[in-house]
Amino acid sequence: MARSRTVNTAQVHELLLQAIETERGGIQIYTTAIKAAVNKDLKKEWGEYLDETRTHEEVLTRVFEQLGMDTEEKSPGRSVVAHQGASLVKAIEMAMKSDTPEAAELVAAECVVLAETKDHQNWELIGKVVEQGGELAKVLEPAYKAVESDEDHHLYHTMGWCRELWIQSLGMPAVLPPPEEVKKVETAIGASRAEQSRDEMLGHKH
């Protein structure tokens, strides 16, 4: 693996192993979540996220090639990520089998948020490594730039869907599609603003 003075390269190696496993888990989670989606807009959205997640896995595969890493290398941390991913798939299947379609959709949204929280963090950390410059950054920067904004959408928009679908299930007025979607949120601050605008958005609908 390429060297850099400022980062622990062994731990960057570990981060990349976890990152590719997270993307692979994401492909399985979206494939299952799409089956559980009741709302047509959400189903379509997750279909797009599934395609993007497949692209992320390919982007990382190229990073591995460039760094001379083996995409199938195992590590204890990677095994944990694989376990988490498989568990989230199982959780959605459990809900689809034993609960109402609306309840299974909520479980799927929660599982996507959990998976995307890890995925989003992986890429944020890759971005931090890029900031350090050096040989690693040369390889990681194009990958980071290609993927970063997708990850913001995947996390913040699905959090919005999850919240609004839950609110709808509680019998309260929901903003669907969620404010995060309408306002094309790409940052944590934007997500917070979008959430705060929901009353106003509900008002406009009445």
Pick 39 or 53: Cβ nearer Fe ion: 53
Cα–Cα distance, 30 to 36 (Å, whole number) = 10
Tokens 């995925």 belong to 119
Pick 159 or 175: Cβ nearer Fe ion: 159
Helices 134-152 and 101-131 cross at an angle (nearest 10°) of 150
CB of 28 to Fe ion, least distance (A): 13
- Which amino acid would we find at residue 171? G
By CB under 5 A, how many residues form the interface with Fe ion?
3
CB of 155 to Fe ion, least distance (A): 9
| Part in contact with Fe ion (CB under 5 A); list of ranges 46-54, 85-93, 161-169, 184-192 | 46-54
Structural tokens at position 165: 């679908």
Pick 65 or 124: Cβ nearer Fe ion: 124
Cα–Cα distance, 37 to 48 (Å, whole number) = 13
Structural tokens at position 144: 């980071």
Pick 56 or 163: Cβ nearer Fe ion: 56
CB 22 within 8 A of CB 119: yes
Answer for which of 15, 32, 50, 56 binds Fe ion (CB under 5 A) is 56
* Residue list 101-160, contact with Fe ion (CB under 5 A): 119
CB of 89 to Fe ion, least distance (A): 16
Nearest-CB residue for Fe ion: 56
CB of 24 to Fe ion, least distance (A): 10
Structural tokens at position 192: 């917070």
Cα–Cα distance, 190 to 86 (Å, whole number) = 31
- Residues in contact with Fe ion by the rule CB under 5 A: 53, 56, 119
